[in-house]
Amino acid sequence: MTVIGAQHVTRGHIDEYLRYLANQGRTGTTRARKLVSIHMFFTYLVKEGVILHSPASTVKRPRKERKPKHILRPDEFRRIVAAARGNPRDYALLQLLAQTGIRVSEVIAIRLPELDLEYKTLTIHGKGSKERIIPLEKKALHALQSYLAVRPKTSDQHLFLNYQGKGLSIGGVRKMVEKYVKRAGITKKISCHSLHYTCATNRSALGIIAFCLRTPLKHEPTRSSKKYMPIGREELRKLMEFTSL
In tens, the pLDDT along 145-203 reads 999 999 999 999 999 999 999 999 999 999 999 999 999 998 888 887 787 777 766 66
Are 156 and 164 a contacting pair, CB within 8 Å? Answer: no
Q: Do 105 and 169 lie in a common domain?
A: yes
Lowest mean pLDDT among 115-119, 120-124, 185-189: 185-189
Q: Do 56 and 106 lie in a common domain?
A: no
Secondary structure of residue 147 in the 3-state scheme? helix
CATH number at residue 203: 1.10.443.10
Task: Give the range with max mean pLDDT: 61-75, 104-118, 120-134.
Answer: 104-118
Q: Do 17 and 45 lie in a common domain?
A: yes
Q: Do 95 and 143 lie in a common domain?
A: yes
Q: Do 78 and 49 lie in a common domain?
A: no
Q: Do 99 and 13 lie in a common domain?
A: no
In tens, the pLDDT along 206-243 reads 454 444 444 433 334 444 434 334 434 554 444 444 44
Q: Do 78 and 134 lie in a common domain?
A: yes
**Whole-angstrom distance, CA of residue 71 vs CA of residue 126:** 23
> Using N-to-C axis directions, what is the helix angle for 170-183 and 192-204, rounded to 10°?
80
Q: Do 86 and 56 lie in a common domain?
A: no
Number of domains observed in the structure of the chain: 2
CATH number at residue 40: 1.10.150.130
- Domain span including residue 30: 1-66
**Whole-angstrom distance, CA of residue 237 vs CA of residue 128:** 26
Domain boundary among 66, 95, 122: 66
pLDDT for res 236: 45
Q: Do 220 and 110 lie in a common domain?
A: yes
Q: Do 217 and 131 lie in a common domain?
A: yes
**Whole-angstrom distance, CA of residue 17 vs CA of residue 23:** 10
Domain boundary among 47, 66, 85: 66
Q: Do 98 and 168 lie in a common domain?
A: yes
Cβ-proximal residues to 206 (8 Å cutoff; 6+ apart), any chain:
239, 243
Mean predicted lDDT score pLDDT of the chain? 80
- Classify residue 231 by its DSSP letter: T
